[in-house]
Structure 1
Amino acid sequence: MKVFSFTDPRENILIYSPWLLKKGSEIRLADIVNGKPQGKAIIAQLEGVNDRDQAASFIGWDVFIRHEQLPEAADGEYYWSDLIGLKVETIEGDQLGIVDSLLETGANDVIIVQGERERVIPFIQGQTIINIDVEAGRIIVDWDPAF
């Protein structure tokens, strides 16, 4: 089956077995038998999926892995999933909201902060991102709250 991977590099999705497959409220566990990159996608064979019709039944399913399957992030590096939900405040203590999502823009990643309004803040550690404390659940930013 063809899989679109958001890992970096994209073929790393193949080292995280088993996968949690989810569609709506249905969740299945799937072990990877084989796989390889093909163009911008990954071709994967799952255990028990042996023909085209069985593979087609997984169209529209999302692939997840357990956080415990990921290698530990290096100092100063974070998984996006660890940042989502953190409170964001300025160095002056103004509350801006919480991290709703992150976006890759090419120049630099940005955090999307939902508060009284949506803010898009460049994720540049040491410049706009001053401190990240996952345990305390907050990010300190050098950002004008009016912007």
Structure 2
Amino acid sequence: MSDQVCVGAIAGAYGVRGEVRLKSFCADPQAIADYGPLTDENGTAYTVTLIRPIKNGFVARLSGVATKEDADARKGVQLYAPRDRLPEAGEDEYYHADLIGLRVLDTGGTEIGTIRAVMDHGAGDLLEIQGPGLKNTVLLPFTRACVPTVDLAGGKVVADPPEGLF
């Protein structure tokens, strides 16, 4: 598990005064401002001040971003917070970053693939699984019925997929 967790991303400039459109990946979207300063992939630190909510995120001011051009240059930059500043995950709760890359085994112990991404389109989390025997990635519902075991320390999950999914 990494000591940094991606908590948001800069979606581009908002206006002409250096404000940015900020997407929050936090369970409580406004909490992104509480975990700062946030850093990007290069280690640049940003203090986040939320201005107001907008569709799919917030208008925010970031330290070091003073102009529209500065904001445009940072479009797509992911922002990370140290894991020790984030709340502990409860029982049967996991940070998406901890699941990505885990091996997926079926209930017989045969490796199916690895978790490529975790998605939520409104009806619950889905694990995107890629594997050597799969032409395309497969979406597996992340429910106790389909994924009865998550072993973060062992780097694997055990899956009991619906018939015919794999």
TM-score normalized by structure 2? 0.74
Equivalent of residue 78 in structure 1, options 89, 94, 107:
94
Q: Which amino acid aligns with 1:105?
A: H
Cα deviation for residue 140 of structure 1 reads: 0.9
Conserved? CA contact 1:94–1:145, under 8 Å: no
Identify the residue that residue 153 of structure 2 maps to in structure 1.
Answer: 135
Cα deviation for residue 60 of structure 1 reads: 3.4
SS of corresponding position for 1:4: strand
Equivalent of residue 66 in structure 1, options 82, 92, 117:
82
CA distance in 1, matches of 2:84, 2:57: 24
1:15–1:93: structure 2 CA closer, same or farther, 3 Å change rule?
same
1:119–1:34: structure 2 CA closer, same or farther, 3 Å change rule?
closer
CA distance in 2, matches of 1:138, 1:15: 31
> What RMSD in Å do the two structures reach over aligned CA positions?
2.2
CA distance in 2, matches of 1:54, 1:100: 32
Q: Tell me whether 1:13 sits opposite 2:32 in the alignment.
A: yes
Alignment gaps of 5+ in structure 1: none
SS of corresponding position for 1:55: helix
Q: Which amino acid aligns with 1:119?
A: V
Percent of aligned pairs with the same residue? 27
TM-score normalized by structure 1? 0.82
Alignment gaps of 5+ in structure 2: 1-19
Q: Which amino acid aligns with 1:138?
A: K
- Count of matched residue pairs: 143
CA distance in 2, matches of 1:32, 1:105: 27
